[in-house]
Amino acid sequence: MTSDIINKIFDWLIAFLVSGLLVWFGITQPVFSFFSESSVPEIDTKKLQKHVEELSQTYAPRTPELEGIRPAAHYIYRQLTKAGQTSGKKPKYQAFWTMGGGRYSNVIFQLGPATAETIVIGAHYDTHNSFPGADNNASGVATLIELARSLSVVEKDLPIRVELVAYALSEGSVLGTKDMGSFKHAKMLKRKNREVKLMIS
């Protein structure tokens, strides 16, 4: 049963990734038109599936209450570190405190020049209650990791900063509040006067 669910989610993930990339490259044309077809590596579907399985099985549930969220953040950090070896770039934690006194972290991976204009691609990594969260949102995080690997190959050719972010705290009681990881990240971007040209989540 679990295997069937993961396979269905995996099929959906591939469709999401392809459509997302098409939208992204379509909107930002002709910014990325100089990339040759062979310069960007193909998406590794086996890696995508592996990340979904790891996050939805080994690191589930990823909730603040059950402490699963912190090991998941470390897993994402390690995988982004590996993905960025080609570019020499490393991820970083954006630690923040909630109104309730909890300390959590977004995981951020930046590519391209230090321009004020920024493209943000994000996905939350926490889950609701005790659910494994394969499609909500291990699939999105797997996409971030694979995008990091692919874009690292052409990192020096990127004309604009690309920021990949795995967000903490997007589910349950924090939904729609200032405790959300995405809110904390947006607040940081505003403080640094960064202009977000496009956000995909």
For domain 45-199, give its CATH number from 3.40.630.10, 3.40.640.10, 3.40.250.10, 3.40.50.12780: 3.40.630.10
Segments making up each domain of the chain, as ranges: 1-35, 45-199
Instruction: Give the pLDDT confidence of 172-187 residue by residue, as tens digits.
Output: 666 778 889 899 999 9
**By CB neighbour count within 10 A (0-12 exposed, 13-18 middle, 19+ buried), where does 67 fall?**
exposed
SS3 176: coil
Which pLDDT tens digit goes with each residue over 58-117? 887 787 766 778 999 999 999 999 999 988 999 999 999 988 888 999 999 999 998 879
The tokens describing 47, both together, are 């890696």
pTM value is: 0.79
pLDDT tens digits, 6-38? 454 454 555 455 545 544 454 455 444 445 554
In whole angstroms, what is the distance from residue 136 CA to residue 139 CA?
7
Q: What number of CA atoms fall less than 13 Å from residue 50's CA on the CB side?
A: 9
